[in-house]
Amino acid sequence: MMADLTIAVSEAVFAKTLEVVVANFGFDVSGGGDFGDFGARYDGRLVLKGGSLELRDDGTIRLRELDARWDKLELTLGVRLSDTSLGGGPVDLPGGGTIHLPGVTLFSRDPGVVFTVELAPFVKHELSLVGSPLIQHFEPGVTPIGKHCQDLHTALKIDDTTPQWRIFCDPQTIDFDLFDFADTVGDLFEQAFTDALDKLLPPGLLHDLILKAIGSVADLLRTLLDIPDDLSEWLSDLFNVSLGVFNLILQFVADFFGTCISFYQLDDPFPMLPKTKETTTETTVELPAVTVPIQNLSAIVNDVELVVTADIGGVS
């Protein structure tokens, strides 16, 4: 049986929607964990740039080569150090003479050393996905809408006050690059740790003596955090596995395209004729809009367009 209503949505319409989505996309993510010898917290905002959309003859929609960049990605590490007490006392100076140094306790707070680094310039990703059309019914006041979705709906001029059938791109596969930090991030980390450690040490000669006893600050950092030779690899594993940020991004992308952003909306009931007024010499009569309920929707993709078909119920 032939459907009562057939609508074709071109690839250009999808592409325009993607442009607006990319321009307004932003994923704010934060969290942390305790790993014994150190604690870690992160705070970041991920945005998208570029990308393209393709309707395919296998019934799928492909989004590809979207550049994912961090507007900010701050990582704060709190490194635990054992209390170190220096009893003070007389110290013979190389040029002759003696000075008396006061006793001091180092690293008594927990964590002992805290420092923050901005990692956004050192990592980038690329996002691609393949999805299928997914039809959902939206009911104002019933269907949940997140704040981020509301902002995007405003940008896309999607009406959240009207019952609608909405067609989403439900991701079947998502390809998102793992965190892979540039090697130069190691120097940044070591300098940030050195600066934070330096601020905790007492000034003067005692400061220099403690640094001499510590030796290499970089080696101390690697020992405390159990970091292998490649610090950038350790940092990538921290975000990909230990902190779980990679999986959070995948889940957000799946929910974002599968439940937040619809590429086509159809009011239900569907307006067949708008509200009108008929005026005679004696009176004006306002005629209500003619609407029909929409049933049995289907959505099929080919390499040219999305074809939406539906049946019409009784006129109201």
pLDDT digits (tens, 9 = 90+) for 127-164: 999 999 999 999 999 998 888 888 889 888 999 999 99
Q: Which helix (H) or strand (E) holds 75?
A: strand 61-79
Residues in the chain: 316
pLDDT of 187 strictly over 90:
no
The predicted-structure confidence for 2-25, as pLDDT tens digits, reads as follows 668 899 999 999 999 899 889 888
- How many domains are contained in the chain? 1
pLDDT of 104: 53
The predicted-structure confidence for 248-289, as pLDDT tens digits, reads as follows 999 999 999 998 989 999 999 888 887 887 777 777 878 787
pLDDT of 236: 92
Give the mean model confidence (pLDDT) for residues 166-192: 91
Instruction: Please give the torsion angle defined by the CA atoms of residues 238, 35, 184 and 222, in that order, rounded to the nearest 10 degrees.
Output: -140
d(CA 90, CA 191) in angstroms, rounded, equals 33
CA distances from 26 to 46, 63, 149, 152, 155 (A): 6, 17, 11, 10, 13
pLDDT band, residue 204 (cuts 50/70/90) = low
Segment among 79-83, 126-130, 153-157, 196-200 with least mean pLDDT: 79-83
Helices 147-156 and 11-24: crossing angle in degrees, nearest 10, is: 130
Place of tokens 């004696």: 282
Nearest to 308 by CA among 145, 134, 191: 134
The predicted-structure confidence for 21-40, as pLDDT tens digits, reads as follows 898 888 999 999 998 888 99
d(CA 131, CA 257) in angstroms, rounded, equals 9
Range of the domain at 249: 5-312
Neighbours of 251 (CB within 10 A): 12
d(CA 72, CA 46) in angstroms, rounded, equals 8
Q: Which helix (H) or strand (E) holds 275?
A: none
Q: Which helix (H) or strand (E) holds 219?
A: helix 217-225
The whole-model pTM stands at 0.78
Q: Is the dihedral of CA 251, 253, 259, 260 positive or negative?
A: positive
Give the mean model confidence (pLDDT) for residues 232-258: 92
